[in-house]
């Protein structure tokens, strides 16, 4: 499958940490040759097995600030103490090749993209439940309790923004979630699975997360 210039668009995937949006993004990229992954710039340190120029462009903070000043980023944000941003060249290059540019970014970045790239389609990925999200975040075992609590609070705030997005996909079964996002790329939104009202789903997930939060 290959895209035609003018028929494709940037696809923004956003989700709380632990919802699985990055896994969905990689599955889509592997299964479709009309999808190209947007490689973000970031000031955080690489994690195990991450490669510069493939997973992220890892840059120093002063270099990142120069990119902002030069207008080379269409969105940027500070998340968990590090900076992330999307180079403008990613959008231009994908459009020229007739490919869908897949942007795996946070809610702050999605809002900036919505303002600057109106043709972009925005998808929010929800976990199947708050309990599953908590298990994924606490099961990593690589972060102290204070950092886990911060991630949970951020996740709670982000989940409550799901109504801002064009589409919401629940990642309860990975293959089906990937199929849902692929249907959105193809314009087959009638093929998306029906779910309970979004407000009901968000309230249920939020309630389960709140049970694991320390008192403020």
25 assigned to some structural domain: yes
What percent of the chain is modeled with pLDDT above 70? Answer: 95
Question: Residue 138's pLDDT band (boundaries 50, 70, 90)?
Answer: confident
57 assigned to some structural domain: no
* Domain span holding position 203: 11-37+101-210
> What pLDDT was estimated at residue 120?
94
Q: Residue 133 pLDDT > 90, yes or no?
A: yes
163 assigned to some structural domain: yes
180 assigned to some structural domain: yes
48 assigned to some structural domain: no
Q: How many domains does the chain have?
A: 1
153 assigned to some structural domain: yes
Range in 3-7, 69-73, 130-134 the model is least confident about: 3-7
User: Whose structure tokens read 């599953």?
Assistant: 132
69 assigned to some structural domain: no
Paired tokens of 186: 């193809």
Cα dihedral 99→15→25→7 (10° resolution): -20
User: Whose structure tokens read 């060249």?
Assistant: 89
Cα angle: 112, vertex 137, 139; to 5 degrees: 160
Question: Residue 216's pLDDT band (boundaries 50, 70, 90)?
Answer: low
55 assigned to some structural domain: no
Q: CATH code at 143?
A: 3.40.50.300
Sheet containing 11-14: order of strands: 35-37, 100-104, 11-14, 121-126, 167-170
């Amino acid at each position: 499958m290959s895209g035609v210039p003018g028929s494709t668009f940037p696809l923004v995937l956003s989700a709380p940490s632990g919802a699985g949006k990055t896994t969905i993004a990689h599955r889509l990229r592997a299964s479709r040759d009309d999808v190209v992954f947007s490689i973000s710039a970031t000031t955080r340190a690489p994690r195990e097995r991450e490669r510069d120029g493939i997973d992220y462009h890892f840059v120093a903070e002063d270099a990142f600030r120069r990119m902002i000043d030069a207008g080379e980023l269409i969105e940027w944000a500070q998340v968990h103490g590090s900076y992330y941003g999307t180079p403008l060249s990613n959008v231009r290059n994908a459009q020229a090749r007739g490919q869908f540019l897949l942007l795996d970014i946070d809610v702050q970045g999605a809002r900036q993209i919505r303002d600057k790239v109106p043709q972009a389609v925005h998808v929010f990925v929800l976990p199947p439940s708050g309990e599953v999200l908590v298990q994924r975040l606490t099961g990593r075992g690589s972060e102290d309790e204070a950092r886990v609590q911060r991630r949970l609070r951020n996740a709670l705030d982000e989940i409550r923004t799901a109504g801002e997005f064009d589409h919401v996909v629940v990642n309860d079964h990975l293959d089906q979630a990937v199929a849902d996002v692929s249907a959105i790329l193809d314009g087959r939104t009638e093929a998306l699975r029906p779910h309970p009202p979004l407000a009901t789903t968000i309230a249920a997930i939020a309630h389960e997360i709140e049970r694991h939060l320390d008192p403020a």
